């Protein structure tokens, strides 16, 4: 099959569902059956940080099985790393892989990262405002939605076509209205020929996976990992609160706010709630929802057949 744009395979879905293992399996299978070389690009907003391994579920060297991985261990954990910077850095990697006839496989559960990487907007002529963008990145989505509504009303700008559940789009809309005082027509284009595999599974099975994963990470030393980072002054408790659920609750445990039983219980339920939001985001996202083909992670033959008919 000939494509007008370079191909990209994406494996996405909620946490703990087995995305990394599947991406590696697909890569090895494509090399063996079709002699297609693949490399994997992580789309995880926490795995970009160095030293945060167990708490983020970062794939190990052994689990990679020789398949090169990118966008892991990019910056130190005390540094901010935005979705805009991710899209910029990951796009350079994709361009390099395509130039060497290597098929990129994007793998992750951070919807904003995936969306920013796979799609581009045209028609927004306002210049980027790094200072404003950095400020807005630190705000919550609810705050940004209200800010967008307020400035749009002042300028009488039409924001009906803005995906207000997409933080990146809301920030860009604020940036545009701030400069132009209106919203120009924005076209969403596929940057690549996208082959998108979504993973889903019975909810009770996923909950059991989450429980088992927490137990395994604790056994493997997830808390000790954080204690070492604190002792080496590579991170602060304040920063831990912003690095995802595992690190937030570990910080609360280490500072005496939670007992071990409370820590495990609250982390478990928080992750379950997070997976619900992930699934809802993927299935409601305007750009992604019509392009994702959903499978259960054990449906290897069906996934391989889908890829085979798509390449």
Do residues 238 and 276 share a domain?
yes
End-of-domain residue from the set 151, 170, 185: 185
Give residue 156's pLDDT: 78
pLDDT tens, per residue, the chain with 311 residues: 455 689 999 999 999 999 999 999 999 999 999 999 999 999 999 999 999 999 999 999 999 999 999 999 999 999 989 888 999 999 999 999 999 999 999 999 999 899 989 987 655 556 778 889 889 988 999 999 999 999 888 887 778 767 788 787 899 889 888 887 766 555 567 889 999 999 999 999 999 999 999 999 999 999 999 999 999 988 999 999 999 999 999 999 999 999 999 999 999 999 999 999 999 999 888 888 889 999 999 999 999 999 999 98
**This model's pTM is above 0.85:** no
Name the domain count of the chain. 2
Do residues 242 and 301 share a domain?
yes
Do residues 88 and 209 share a domain?
yes
In a domain, 150, yes or no: yes
Q: In what order do the strands lie in the sheet with 193-199?
A: 69-70, 38-42, 103-108, 7-12, 193-199, 292-295
Give residue 198's pLDDT: 98
Q: Which of 125, 118, 121, 126 is nearest to 186 (CA)?
A: 121
Domain containing 61 equals 7-119+190-310
Give residue 172's pLDDT: 84
Strands 187-190 and 119-122: antiparallel
Do residues 102 and 240 share a domain?
yes
Do residues 34 and 76 share a domain?
yes
Distance from C-alpha of 294 to C-alpha of 283, rounded to nearest angstrom:
10
End-of-domain residue from the set 134, 159, 185: 185
Block residue for tokens 């398949």: 67
End-of-domain residue from the set 185, 202, 233: 185
Do residues 51 and 137 share a domain?
no
Do residues 177 and 267 share a domain?
no
Do residues 196 and 170 share a domain?
no
Do residues 247 and 155 share a domain?
no
In a domain, 2, yes or no: no
Q: Are 110 and 43 in contact (CB under 8 A)?
A: yes
Do residues 102 and 13 share a domain?
yes
Do residues 52 and 12 share a domain?
yes
Give residue 185's pLDDT: 53
Distance from C-alpha of 111 to C-alpha of 43, rounded to nearest angstrom:
8
Give residue 184's pLDDT: 59
Give residue 1's pLDDT: 46
3-class SS letters over the chain: CCCCCCEEEEEECCCCCCHHHHHHHHHHHHHHHHCCCEEEEECCCCCCECCCCCCCCCCCHHHHCCCCEECCCCECCCCCCCHHHHHHHHHHHHHHHHHCCCEEEEEECCHHHHHHHHEEEECCCCCCCHHHHHHHHCCCHHHHHHHHHHHHHHHCCCCCCCCCCCHHHHHHHHHHHHHHCCCCCCEEEECCEEEEEEECCCHHHHHHHHHHHHHHHHHHCHHHHHHHHHHCCCCCHHHHCCCCHHHHHHHHHHCCCCCHHHHHHHHHHHHHHHHHHHHHHHHHCCCCCCCEEEECCCCHHHHHHHHHHHC
Do residues 105 and 253 share a domain?
yes
In a domain, 1, yes or no: no
């Amino acid at each position: 099959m000939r494509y007008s744009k370079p191909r990209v395979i994406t494996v996405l879905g909620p946490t703990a569902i087995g995305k990394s293992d599947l991406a590696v399996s697909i890569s090895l299978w494509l090399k063996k059956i079709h002699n297609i070389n693949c490399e994997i690009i992580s789309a995880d907003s926490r795995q970009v940080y160095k030293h945060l391994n167990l708490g983020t579920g970062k794939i190990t060297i052994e689990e990679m099985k020789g398949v090169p991985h990118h966008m892991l261990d990019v910056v130190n954990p005390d540094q901010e790393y935005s979705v805009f910077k991710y899209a910029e850095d990951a796009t350079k990697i994709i361009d390099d892989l395509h130039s060497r006839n290597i098929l990129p496989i994007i793998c992750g559960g951070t919807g904003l990262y995936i969306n920013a990487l796979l799609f581009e907007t045209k028609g927004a002529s306002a210049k980027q405002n790094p200072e404003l963008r950095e400020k807005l990145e630190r705000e919550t989505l609810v705050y940004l939605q209200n800010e967008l509504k307020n400035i749009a009303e002042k300028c009488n700008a039409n924001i009906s076509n803005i995906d207000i559940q997409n933080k990146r789009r809301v920030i860009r809309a604020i940036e545009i209205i701030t400069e132009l005082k209106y919203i120009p027509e924005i076209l969403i284009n596929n940057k690549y020929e996208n082959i998108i595999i979504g993973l889903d599974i019975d909810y009770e099975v996923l909950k059991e996976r989450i429980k088992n994963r927490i137990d395994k990470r604790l056994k493997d030393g997830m808390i000790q990992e954080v204690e070492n980072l604190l002792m080496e002054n590579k991170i602060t408790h304040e920063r831990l609160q912003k690095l995802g659920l595992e690190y937030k609750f570990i910080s609360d445990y280490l500072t005496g706010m939670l007992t071990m039983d409370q820590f495990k219980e609250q982390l478990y339920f928080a992750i379950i709630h997070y997976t619900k939001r992930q699934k809802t985001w993927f299935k409601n996202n305007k750009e992604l929802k019509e392009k994702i083909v959903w499978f259960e992670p054990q449906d290897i033959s069906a996934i391989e057949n889908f890829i085979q008919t798509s390449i």
